[in-house]
Structure 1
Amino acid sequence: MKTHQPKLKTQLFSCGFFRHCTQTVLSPTATPYPPTLPFTPSEHAPPPRQPPQPPPSPPRSNPPLPRPSQPDSESSSSSSTSQSFTQWKFPLPNSPVRQQPQSIRPSDLPPLPPPISSANLQELFHAAELQLSTGSDSDQLAALHLLERALLPNPPTDLDCPPELMRGVVRNLKTKAAAKPATKILLALCLAEGNRHVAVEAGAVAAVVEAALEMEDPAAERALAALELMCTVAEGAAEVRAHALAVPAMVTMMGRTSARGKEYAISVLAVIYGGVSEAEDDGEEEAEGVTAPPEEVARAVALALQGDCSARGRRKGGQLLKALQENC
């Protein structure tokens, strides 16, 4: 019986990779495959294995491919690509992490600075008085800012303000650039009861009534708060009742300002209409400034109470509505 030896063609490749394959798979020194024999039931020889076919070789004109270091370069390239994607998708370990802002507790706030001494404040009052009396607009504004830093946020309550200094502060209430610091200073000074008399004598009641509508809301609310404090003294209440624009100004401010501003305006109106009956007993001299009818003011107050208003404002509003009904 004649056996057929498989014919193996060995082809030389210029590629080192394929040369390696041919040397290991098709090498003549390797163990040859057994010859194919006829299959019989008694023989259980496994079917002959087909040798792996090498891929087609590149043209000889092309330069030789790199040697087996190519898989290592591909592996490193794949590794660097994976690492770069990971760095893009997730933050780097050394990258700064944005932290959520924490809520500030009252204990974390710095303590208020101590009030300025009386001697230093007297010297400051004297210097500011000269600047507000004879200085230019820029000098007066600088003096107001200096007073603001000295009186806030811890104003003294046991020091009287010089009348000339108070008049300089009151004059600047009608100046747009100086209204903000002037209202802060006026309110801080009026916290002391003695300075309320000085403010009324300096014309602060009329200045606030006439300038509040032209101020920005924060400055207007501070001015109304100072006006309410001035109404706690007899001459201040008399001044606000006698002013012809006091009622329409307060009614307008009730519809424009926030809850705190409404509270101050209602309190001033309560002073005005709460003293009408007393003024009638005195000959109605102090009631001449009340020009708005009580029923119109009552409707404005009721409308203001329907919106945002503080608890004190609602209580003052109820008292005012009762006084208005009695005067209708």
Structure 2
Amino acid sequence: MKTQHHHQLKIKPLFSCAFFRNCTQTVHSPTAAHAPPLALSLPEPPLRPPSASPPLTPQPPPPPPILSGHNPQNPDSDSSSSSNSHSFTQWRFPPTFHRPPPMESHPPPTVPPRLPPPPRKHPEIPAPNLEELFHAAEIQFTTGSESERFAALHMLEHSLVPNPPADSEDRGGGDGRDAVVPAVVIDGVVGYMKQRKGAKSATKVLLALCLAEKNRHVAVERGAVGRVVESLADLEGAPAERALAALELMCTVAEGAAEVKSHALAVPMLVAVMGNMEGRGREYAISVLAVIFGGAGDQVGAAPPEEVARAVVLAMQGDCSARGKRKGAQLLKTLQENGRLDSTLA
């Protein structure tokens, strides 16, 4: 009994020390109402040694350690580890944006100007069969209505202007290109020269037909010379120029030259038209006047030679082609040699 009491006296001071008193009261004591959370002591991160210059990119502070099953932001909820690792990765490795180098300014490329295509000379239109073309136009001019005759005029224009007929000695007769224009077609074409709506097409067709000498004879026989002279008062510009060119071609035929000389309105009309035209128009008018005053004999109803010479001199001083000036100088010389012109005007 004494021995037991002696052992109890020895143990009592051992458990009454401060360390064991705290442990028994806080951790192991069953009398504690609420156990405080276990305080964990984390080791402090090592201090970074001072550097001479600060880093170019500031480094974020190291993340706190993540314990398994413990979320320091929300201790009561167990969030998924994928969202934590995703936010941790974005926070640990921040994106870096590189500044693009400055763009060099270059002048815009110069685009060469686009040149207009060369004018097309109707290479896609085949040469018509003149025999069939003239036959169709002859039927329409003879028995057709006004609209059909006008359509025949346009048919001749679209067929003959791109491929005008021409004389050729070695041309074969199988392709129908050696056909002579019928007299009815000449009458129908020249009849439109004094009409405003058909004068443009009529002068084109007549000039294309007169390019062939065989058709000039037909035109002169049908009185085309006089009808062209009379229509000059109603024409101007390009149609008048083409009419004068056709008249010059018809004057290459002896009957055509004789008819223009005998026409009372030929010289006055040519003098009046020559003053209102330019370029090739003056050239054609001077050529016809040279035909009228070039031969012997008196011209019926011809204007005084002095008036003709004065008009020719004015035409040569203006916009006139080289051929027109040569024709004009030859005409003035002819008038002086025939004694019809004073030497002061030549």
Band the TM-score falls in, shorter-chain normalisation: 0.5 to 0.7
Deviations 1:68-126 (A, max 9, x none): 65855xx4xx67x959x87xx636xxxx9555428869xx9886866434xxx222212
Q: For residues 100 and 125 of structure 1, what CA distance do their matches in structure 2 show?
A: 43
Question: Residue 116 of structure 1 corresponds to which residue in structure 2?
Answer: 128
Letter of the 2:208 counterpart: A
> Deviating runs (4+, > 4 A) in structure 1?
49-52, 66-72, 96-99, 102-105, 108-114
Question: Residue 31 of structure 1 corresponds to which residue in structure 2?
Answer: 49
Question: Residue 175 of structure 1 corresponds to which residue in structure 2?
Answer: 195
Q: For residues 124 and 326 of structure 2, what CA distance do their matches in structure 1 show?
A: 32
Trace 1:312-323 onto structure 2 (pairs within 5 A).
312-323=323-334
Runs (5+) with no aligned partner, structure 2 = 1-44, 56-90, 168-177, 342-346
The Cα of 1:207 is off from its aligned counterpart by 2.2
Q: For residues 253 and 121 of structure 2, what CA distance do their matches in structure 1 show?
A: 36
Deviations 1:149-183 (A, max 9, x none): 32233323343211111100110111222122211
Q: For residues 51 and 151 of structure 1, what CA distance do their matches in structure 2 show?
A: 95
Q: For residues 216 and 28 of structure 1, what CA distance do their matches in structure 2 show?
A: 109
TM-score (norm 1): 0.64
Question: Residue 160 of structure 1 corresponds to which residue in structure 2?
Answer: 180
Question: Residue 203 of structure 1 corresponds to which residue in structure 2?
Answer: 223
Task: Give yes or no for contact 1:112–1:154 (8 Å, CA) kept in 2.
Answer: no
The Cα of 1:306 is off from its aligned counterpart by 1.5
* Alignment length (residue pairs): 251
Question: Residue 101 of structure 1 corresponds to which residue in structure 2?
Answer: 115
The Cα of 1:198 is off from its aligned counterpart by 1.7
Question: Residue 62 of structure 1 corresponds to which residue in structure 2?
Answer: none
Question: Residue 267 of structure 1 corresponds to which residue in structure 2?
Answer: 287
The DSSP-based 3-state class of the residue aligned with 1:173 is: coil
Q: For residues 240 and 151 of structure 2, what CA distance do their matches in structure 1 show?
A: 21
More helix by share: 1
Question: For residues 301 and 30 of structure 1, do their structure 2 counterparts lie closer, same or farther at Cα, with a shift above 3 Å needed?
Answer: same
Q: For residues 266 and 236 of structure 2, what CA distance do their matches in structure 1 show?
A: 18
Q: For residues 101 and 203 of structure 1, what CA distance do their matches in structure 2 show?
A: 47
Task: Give yes or no for contact 2:141–2:149 (8 Å, CA) kept in 1.
Answer: yes
Task: Give yes or no for contact 1:241–1:289 (8 Å, CA) kept in 2.
Answer: no
Matched, 1:305 2:324: no
Letter of the 1:194 counterpart: K
Q: For residues 306 and 174 of structure 1, what CA distance do their matches in structure 2 show?
A: 31
Letter of the 1:251 counterpart: V
The DSSP-based 3-state class of the residue aligned with 1:289 is: coil
Task: Give yes or no for contact 1:170–1:202 (8 Å, CA) kept in 2.
Answer: no
The Cα of 1:197 is off from its aligned counterpart by 2.4
Q: For residues 253 and 198 of structure 2, what CA distance do their matches in structure 1 show?
A: 27
Q: For residues 110 and 139 of structure 1, what CA distance do their matches in structure 2 show?
A: 25
Q: For residues 207 and 28 of structure 1, what CA distance do their matches in structure 2 show?
A: 122
The Cα of 1:263 is off from its aligned counterpart by 1.3
Question: Residue 140 of structure 1 corresponds to which residue in structure 2?
Answer: 149
Larger radius of gyration: 2
The Cα of 1:294 is off from its aligned counterpart by 1.0
Q: For residues 239 and 122 of structure 1, what CA distance do their matches in structure 2 show?
A: 29
Deviations 1:175-202 (A, max 9, x none): 2221222112111211222322221232
Trace 1:1-328 onto structure 2 (pairs within 5 A).
29-31=47-49, 69=95, 71-72=97-98, 75=99, 90=108, 100-101=114-115, 115-117=127-129, 121-156=130-165, 157=167, 158-275=178-295, 277-279=296-298, 287-290=299-302, 292-325=303-336, 326-328=339-341
Q: For residues 197 and 102 of structure 1, what CA distance do their matches in structure 2 show?
A: 42
Task: Give yes or no for contact 1:190–1:230 (8 Å, CA) kept in 2.
Answer: yes
The Cα of 1:265 is off from its aligned counterpart by 0.3
Letter of the 1:153 counterpart: P
Taking every aligned residue pair, what percent have the same amino acid on both sides?
Answer: 56
